[in-house]
Amino acid sequence: MNLNAFRYVIDESMTMISRRKAGNAISIVIMGLSLLILGVFLLVTINVQAVIDRASEEMRVYVYLKDGTPAAASRDIQMKLLALKGVEEVVFVSRDEALSTFRQTLGDNKDMLGALESNPLPDAYRLKIKTEYIRSEYMEKLAGDVGKWPGIEEVRYGEQWLARGERLVKGFYVTDLAIGLIIFFSVIFVIANTVRLTVLSRQKTIEVAKLVGATNAYIRIPFLVEGALQGAVAALLAVGLLAVIHLFAKRYLPGVLFMRGEAVSGFVLFCALLGALGSYGAMRRFLKV
């Protein structure tokens, strides 16, 4: 197909689309609303993930030393901790430091500590874990291994919290995937249906075009363009509505995130591809070329 033919094909696509405004508008609204549902779930997921990421970022593992561990042994432990993969930073927190921090945390209630004759807190190492290693399995293994070392009293981290956060995010992803799949098929179905109607309304044009020597591409491309455009416009509609929802949500939850620019363009592009795919499927069934 040369450049001229390509231009005619695009002209043809535009004519075809403009002739079926009502039908196209209805499918676009249906698809836009379906995609909006997916968008809302994606947005919630993004935000939950962001909250959990931020919390993980601040998560620390405390390795408490047994009372009376000699300084040399303590330094040994520090070196061993630093050598563990996934550990980014090891900070020594002396018992005195821990106590004064504790005191500050208590604030007005610090008098309670006056009852203490001696400092009950142990020396500890505070570990910062590399973000990509903050996962339940890794943390559990780390805590278990280090806990068995000589001179270690106990290893603590927000184990329950971490596991729950992970379950939550996983749940959201599974939901997104399920909804995404349903919407994927519904979008393909809606597009296939509009394209089927277009094919029926253009049967004679197609027949005549074939008679005078139109290639399959010449006949098919307008339908692919129609499907892709519908998908893209529906995606833009969904993103627009999502932005409105986001605006309202922000009043109550400042700091709520929106999809990033790349994600939006990716989404639109994906929906355009989906549209073309639905169109292609419909043509294979209804267009005998």
Partner 1 sequence: MEQDQRIIVGVYHLSKTFGRHFSLHDINLQVANGEFVFLVGPSGAGKSTLLRMVYMDDFPSSGQVVVGPYVSTRMKRSTIPELRRKVGIVFQDFRLLDDQTVFENVALALKVAGVGLGDIKHQVTDILMRVGLYHKRYDFPHELSGGEQQRVAIARAVANRPSVLLADEPTGNLDPVVTKSILELLFKINAGGTAVLMATHDLDLVKSFGQRIIYLEGGRVVKDKDMIFVGDLREKLADSRVSEKADRLEDHDITGEGGRRR
Q: Which residues bind partner 1 (CB under 8 A)?
A: 1-5, 8, 204-205, 207-216, 218
Complex with partner 1: residue 66 or 210, whichever CB lies closer = 210
Q: Check: CB of residue 271 under 8 Å from CB of residue 35.
A: yes
96-115: burial string, b at 16+ Cβ within 10 Å, e else: eebbeeeeeeeeeeeeeeee
Q: Compute the least distance from the CB of residue 15 to partner 1, in Å.
A: 9
Please enumerate in sequence order all residues whose Cβ is within 8 A of that of 275, keeping only pairs 6 or more positions apart, or say none.
Answer: 187, 191, 227, 228, 229, 230, 231, 232, 234
Complex with partner 1: residue 113 or 208, whichever CB lies closer = 208
For 28-94, strand residue ranges (E) read 60-65, 87-93
Least Cα distance to 241 among 41, 35, 42 occurs for 35
Q: Check: CB of residue 289 under 8 Å from CB of residue 206.
A: yes
Q: Compute the least distance from the CB of residue 220 to partner 1, in Å.
A: 12
Complex with partner 1: residue 145 or 207, whichever CB lies closer = 207
Q: Check: CB of residue 74 under 8 Å from CB of residue 114.
A: no
Complex with partner 1: residue 125 or 218, whichever CB lies closer = 218
Complex with partner 1: residue 94 or 216, whichever CB lies closer = 216
Beta bridge pairs of residue 261 = none
Q: Compute the least distance from the CB of residue 225 to partner 1, in Å.
A: 16
Degrees to nearest 5, angle at CA 139 with 133 and 144: 145
Q: Compute the least distance from the CB of residue 164 to partner 1, in Å.
A: 59
Q: Compute the least distance from the CB of residue 212 to partner 1, in Å.
A: 4
Complex with partner 1: residue 44 or 289, whichever CB lies closer = 289
- What CA–CA distances, in Å, run from 88 to 61, 126, 129, 137, 163? 11, 11, 5, 18, 21
Q: Compute the least distance from the CB of residue 281 to partner 1, in Å.
A: 19
